Amino acid sequence: MRKMIFFLWILFLSPSITWTQEKINAPVWNVGEKWVFTQGNIEVIGAEKKNYALNFSNDTCIIENRGFKTIIFEKSTLNRIYFLKEDKREKYRTGLRKILDFPFSTGKQWLDGYSERSIVGPGAQEQWVFDYSEKFTIVGWEDIQVQAGKFKVIKLECKTSFSSPHAWSPKGDVEPKHYYWYSPDAKYFVKCPYDKDWMKQDNKIFNWELTSFQLKK
């Protein structure tokens, strides 16, 4: 009887034990750590009590840096919380705000949304507001080979939809799906192929990967 009770107790606890083993907390970034990609590089330039400051080189893919040179990340989650504009902090309110949302675990899902104004219409003289929705899903673990080496990584799916009140708007039926591979050893993403059916006119932004990185011990 005691053996049976013990066996049932193990079965009851095993899901939580598995989850704990898979749970990945936010990495500790140190000033001077740097990641070099096929498109640009990223470097940690500041570390305060609750956040980090990272510089994105001018040649970093604009989809990743959103046009900002310096972005402030929250330490506990690595959410993007501010960007620097002329040395002044402004709240980060655009895409990929929660592309990193630690802790990670297989099957975890989370959502984020934001709005942006775009200049459209004849002569590009009208400003329309577009609402964006991002859905993130941790797919699972994989082994992957990139220029910087071989890594055990967590595969992350990012699905984006958008809509606008204007009649011609796709009303959310356009949903590009991108994938990111995060490496606990490299402490950042090591690869991202963008949805090939999205922004076909600008193929140069598709597919980037880590070529080298420098971490502090």
pLDDT means per 10 residues in the chain (217 residues)?
41 38 90 96 97 96 92 98 94 96 97 78 63 95 98 96 62 75 98 78 74 94
Beta bridge mates, 154: 141, 182
Q: Is 178 within a domain? A: yes
Q: Is 18 within a domain? A: no
This prediction has a pTM of 0.82
Strands (E), 86-123: 88-91, 109-120
Q: Is 182 within a domain? A: yes
Q: Is 134 within a domain? A: yes
Domain boundaries, position 115: 26-214
The CATH number of the domain holding residue 170 is 2.40.360
CB 58 within 8 A of CB 69: yes
From CA 1, how far away is CA 12, in angstroms rounded? 17
From CA 59, how far away is CA 57, in angstroms rounded? 5
Q: Is 78 within a domain? A: yes
Q: Is 51 within a domain? A: yes
Q: Is the peptide bond before 122 cis (omega within 30 degrees of 0)?
A: no
Q: Radius of gyration of the chain from Cα atoms?
A: 20
Question: What's the pLDDT score for residue 129?
Answer: 78
Strand 88-91 with 109-120, pairing: unpaired
**How many structural domains are present in the chain?**
1
Q: Is 192 within a domain? A: yes
